[in-house]
Structure 1
Amino acid sequence: MPITLPETLPAFDILSQEGVMVMSPGRAATQDIRPLRFGLLNLMPKKIQTENQFARLIGATPLQIDFQLIRMSEHQTKNTAAEHMEAFYRPFAEVEASGERFDGLIITGAPIEQIPFEEVTYWDELRRVFDWTQTHVFSTFGVCWGGMAMAYHFHGVNKHALDHKAFGCFRHHNCAPASPYLRGFSDDLLVPVSRWTEMRGDEIKAAGMKILLDSDETGPCLVEDAAHRALYVFNHFEYDSGTLKEEYDRDVSVGKPINVPLNYYPDDDPSQTPSNRWKSHAHLLYGNWVNEVYQGTPYDLADIGR
C-alpha cells in the first residue's frame, strides 16, 4: 500500500524514483479504505530533507498512510523557502483548532539541544503539542531533541551536556528482544548518533520508562514510555547515507571544532565514501511502529484518545 503525498511535494518524485509506492490525495480519495493518518511535526532546519527521510520509512510499510506536515505556529524557518512552507505545512494552532486526530505523530529533533528547554522560543506551544497528543494522537514518536523534550515534559527527566559531541555510528545492544518494536532486530547494531547532550539510563528507569536499545558509549537510544503511548529515540535511524558527512563538511567549512564521525567512513578516512549500515534496522523500527499503531488504533478516528 502507498503513502499519500501531494504530487508537488519534492518527496513525491524522489520516493517514486526509489520505488516507494506513492499516491496523490485525489487517487487516495477514490479508495474504499481508511488510511492511517500520520503527522510529522518538523522542527529541523532542512525541512525537505527531513520530510524525505521520514516519508521514506513510513511509506515502506504495507499500509496506506495519509502523511501530514505540521509546523510550529509562530516560528519562521530560515532554511526552507516560504513558498514550500505555505504550500505543504499547516501550523499546529490550526490543527489543534480543527479537533482532528492522528493515528501516529513524529516529532523531530532540532539543533537547539544546548539551550535549556524553557528558553526555546516555541517551548510553551510545544508543551501544548505534547499534552494534545494524549487526547488526539494514538502513538507519538519523539526523535532526538524531540524525544528528550517529551521525556522532560512528562517525567521531569533532563538532558545532560556532553564534554564533546557524540558523533558517528555507535554499536547498540538490544535490551528487549521480545518488544514488538524490535521485532526482527539483531542482538546488536550500529546507529548514527549526532548530539551534544545525553539522557541517562538510571534517570529514565527511575521515571518508569523502559530502555529498548542502549549503548555502552552513548547511552540510551530507544525508550518506551507506555504511560504516554510514546517512543523516544535519541539517535538517527532516519539519516541518509550522507547525512553525517554533510554535518561534518559543514562544520569543517566554517572552522568549527569537530571530530571525524567515528565508525562511519571506511578506516575513519573522510576522503572515502561512507557505507550505510543502519538502513535495514531503520525500516524495521518504523515498520514495527506503524504495525503496532495499525493493530491498536481505533477504526473511528474520533475515538482516538478517549
Structure 2
Amino acid sequence: MPLILPDQLIDQEVLNQENIFTMSQDQADHQDIRPIKILIVNLMPKKEETELQLLRMLSNSALQMNIDLVRMDSYQATHASQDRLKKFYKTYDQIKDQNFDAMIITGAPVERMDYQDIIYWKELKHIFDFAREHVFSTLFICWSAQAALYHYFGVPKQEVEEKIFGIYQYEKKKEDPILKGFDDSFYAPQSRYTYVKEEDLREIPQIQVLSSREDTGVGLATTLDHRFVFSFGHWEYDKETLHEEYLRDLDKGLATQIPKNYYRQDDPQGDIIMNWRSSGSLFFSNWLNYCVYQETPYQLEKIKGVKVAKFGGSSLASASQFSKVKKIIQAKEDREIIVVSAPGKRSKDDQKVTDLLEKYYEGKKRARDLEVMIESFRKDQAAKRQEAQEALAAVRTRFQEIVRDLDLEEALKEDLDETFQDLDKTQSKDFVLSRGEYLNAKILARALDYDFIDAKDIIRLKSQDQLDYGESYKAIIKTIHKGQRVVVPGFYGANAQGDIRTFKRGGSDYTGSIIASALQSKVYENWTDVSGIMTQDPNLSKDAKRIPSMNYQELTDLIDQGAQVYQRDAIDLVKEKNITLKILNTNAPEEGGTEIKDQEDK
C-alpha cells in the first residue's frame, strides 16, 4: 500500500528504484479509508539517507500511511539543506495540536553528551511529552530510546570505551506481538557508545525487556501497552551503512574496530553479510499492525492520557455533594480513575466520618481494656461502650442518609450491613478508620455505575509508613485496565499479610498520587472545598486570592512553612513523573483552581 509524502520530497525515480509505492494527497483524499498518520522526527545528520531507509521499511506494510517529517527548530543542521528542511519538514509548534497514529524518533550522534547540554533537549522533551497525549504508539530508535527512558523513567545511560559496532545476535526473552513470527534468535545492527542496563529496567513495572545482551545492554523493550517501543538497534540500515560509517570513522582518525559479524571473514575488503533485513521488515510490520493499526482509535482526537481525579471528604460529605461530584466526573470522558476520601464536615459544627470512626475505635478499645479491670471500672466500661456505639450509630446514620437520598438504599443494603458487622467484630484500628473511604467509594461507584476496586488490592505496604512502590505499581497496572472506569477508596492499603493499614490523616492525597504515578497520568485533579491554593487563609481573611499556577518547588516551600494545602509525602510521586497537579473546588468547578507543574515544562 502507498505512502503519502510531501510533494517532491524524494525524486520519483529514486522511489521507483527503491520500490517505495507513493500516492498524492489528492488521490488519498478521494479514497474511502483513513490513512495511518505517521510522524518522523529525524535527528540524524544525513536526513535524506535516513528518510529513504525508514520509508523503505514502512512501505512494506499493506497499510496506507500519511507521512509528516519534523526537524528541531532550536538547532540548525549542518549536513542538510536549510531550504529543503524548511520546505519538507515541520517544526514542533506546527504539529503540537495534532494527533497521530504513530511516531518514529531517530537516533542522533550526541550520545556521549549530557542530555541537558544538547542544544535541542528542551524542544525534544516537549516532543516526548507530546507523545503521551497525541500519539498512540511511538518508536524510539537508538539514542532516542535512551533519551526517552531517561525522560520518562529516570533511567541512566552507561558509556563504553569501545564502540558497540556491528551486527549482534539476540535471543527472544519472551513472546510478544511485536516479535510475532521472529525466530528464537535474530540479528540487529548496532552503532553507539552508550547503552542501558537490563537491571535498570527490571524495577519499572510498566516496561518489559524483549531482548538484551551483556555487551550491548538492552536491545529491545516496550511498555506493557506498547504506547512506547524502545529499539536500540538500526533495523532500518542499508547493507552499506555500517561500512560507510566505518570508513568515516577511520578518516576522522578514530580507533574504531572492524564492525563485528559484518564482513565475511572480518575482512573490510570482502563481502558484507546482510542478515538483519528480514527481522527488520517483520519488526516494522508487527509494530504498525499490532501496536498501531489494530489498537489506535479511528478518531485520533480520542488519543489521551489517563486522568486520575481525587475528591476530598468535603466534596463527598452528603448526597447533594455526591450529585455534584457525579456531574463533575460525567462532564469529561477522560475522568476514569476516581479516588475518594470519607465524608467530611457538612457545616462548621459537623464532624468528619473518619473522626467519628476514630472515636468509635477509641471507645471500643477502651471498653475492651476495661474488661480485665476490677468491678469498680465497669460503669466506665459501659459508658465507653455507649460512646462507641453512639459514634458508630452516627456513622451508620450518615451513610444511610446518603444512600437513601441517592435512591441506592436497596442496592447497597448488603454492603452497609456487612461493613458494620465487620466493624463490630474487628479489633484493628486501621480497619475501623478505613471504612469511611471504603463505603464512600462503594456508594460513588454504584452512583456512577463504575467498577469498585478496593485499595487493599492495589496499594501494598512494607510497613505502616513505607509504601512498596514496585508491588503497588504492578498491582495497579494489572488491576486497572485501559478504558476501565473505577472508584478507589483512599487513605489505606494492605501489608504483605493482607491486613488493612491506613496512612496518616490526609492519606487520600497519597493514594491518588500513587495511582496517578503508576498509570503515568497526564493530570492529577485534587478536588476539595477551596478554589485552589490561596494567598491567605480564606477563613481568616476576605482579601485571600487564588494563586492560579505555581511549580512544585513553590508548593513544597509553602507546605514546609505550615500551609495545609496538600499532603507533603504525595508531591514527589507526581512531580517525578511530570504529572500536572490541579487543586480544584467541588462547589465551584467553574473556577480555575491552582495548577502545579515544573516551570521549565510550561
The TM-score, its normalising length taken from structure 1, stands at: 0.96
Structure 2 equivalent of residue 58 of structure 1: 58
Pick from 200, 203, 211: which aligns with 2:200? Answer: 203
Judge which range, 292-301 or 218-227, deviates more.
Answer: 218-227
Q: Where do 1:117-136 residues align within 5 Å? A: 117-136=115-134
* Cα drift, residue 173 of structure 1: 0.7
Contact 2:180 2:286 in 1 (8 A): yes
Contact 2:70 2:90 in 1 (8 A): yes
* Distance in 2 separating the partners of 1:227 and 1:25: 32
Contact 1:69 1:89 in 2 (8 A): yes
Q: Secondary structure at the residue paired with 2:174?
A: coil
* Cα drift, residue 273 of structure 1: 2.7
* Distance in 1 separating the partners of 2:195 and 2:217: 7
Structure 1 equivalent of residue 283 of structure 2: 285
Structure 2 equivalent of residue 184 of structure 1: 181
Contact 1:6 1:12 in 2 (8 A): no
Looking at secondary structure, tell me which structure has more strand per residue.
1
Q: Secondary structure at the residue paired with 1:165?
A: strand
Contact 1:157 1:204 in 2 (8 A): yes
Structure 2 equivalent of residue 270 of structure 1: 268
Contact 1:11 1:51 in 2 (8 A): no
What letter matches 2:123 in structure 1? E
Please identify runs of 4+ aligned residues in structure 1 that moved more than 3 A: none
Contact 2:168 2:188 in 1 (8 A): yes
What letter matches 1:38 in structure 2? I
* Cα drift, residue 7 of structure 1: 4.1
The TM-score, its normalising length taken from structure 2, stands at: 0.49
Contact 1:5 1:12 in 2 (8 A): no
Alpha-carbon spacing, 1:43–1:127, altered in 2? closer, same or farther (3 Å): same
What letter matches 2:195 in structure 1? E
Structure 2 equivalent of residue 299 of structure 1: 298
What letter matches 1:286 in structure 2? F
Query: Could you say which structure has the greater relative contact order, defined with CA pairs below 8 angstroms and 6 or more residues apart?
Result: 1
Contact 1:170 1:217 in 2 (8 A): no
Contact 1:166 1:196 in 2 (8 A): yes
* Distance in 2 separating the partners of 1:133 and 1:62: 24
What letter matches 2:143 in structure 1? W
Structure 2 equivalent of residue 170 of structure 1: 168
User: How many pairs were matched up?
Assistant: 303
* Distance in 1 separating the partners of 2:108 and 2:59: 23
Answer yes or no: is 1:32 the counterpart of 2:29.
Answer: no
Contact 2:167 2:260 in 1 (8 A): yes
% same residue: 38
Q: Where do 1:73-222 residues align within 5 Å? A: 73-96=73-96, 99-177=97-175, 179-208=176-205, 209-222=207-220
- What RMSD over aligned residues (CA atoms) do the two structures have, in Å? 1.4
Pick from 233, 253, 256: which aligns with 1:255? Answer: 253
Answer yes or no: is 1:71 the counterpart of 2:68.
Answer: no
Larger radius of gyration: 2
Structure 1 equivalent of residue 232 of structure 2: 234
Alpha-carbon spacing, 1:136–1:12, altered in 2? closer, same or farther (3 Å): farther
* Distance in 2 separating the partners of 1:73 and 1:254: 28
Contact 2:57 2:236 in 1 (8 A): yes
Judge which range, 290-299 or 215-224, deviates more.
Answer: 215-224
* Cα drift, residue 19 of structure 1: 2.2
- Once the two structures are superposed, residues 61-81 of structure 1 have per-residue CA deviations (whole angstroms, 9 ceiling, x without a partner) of 000000110111221111011
Judge which range, 65-74 or 5-14, deviates more.
Answer: 5-14
Structure 1 equivalent of residue 525 of structure 2: none
The unaligned stretches of length 5 or more in structure 1 are none
* Cα drift, residue 276 of structure 1: 1.4
Contact 1:134 1:228 in 2 (8 A): no
Judge which range, 187-196 or 20-29, deviates more.
Answer: 20-29
- Once the two structures are superposed, residues 175-234 of structure 1 have per-residue CA deviations (whole angstroms, 9 ceiling, x without a partner) of 122x00001101111111100001000001112211112224312111112367100011
* Cα drift, residue 121 of structure 1: 0.9
* Distance in 2 separating the partners of 1:141 and 1:11: 26
Q: Secondary structure at the residue paired with 1:163?
A: strand
Structure 1 equivalent of residue 354 of structure 2: none
What letter matches 1:169 in structure 2? I
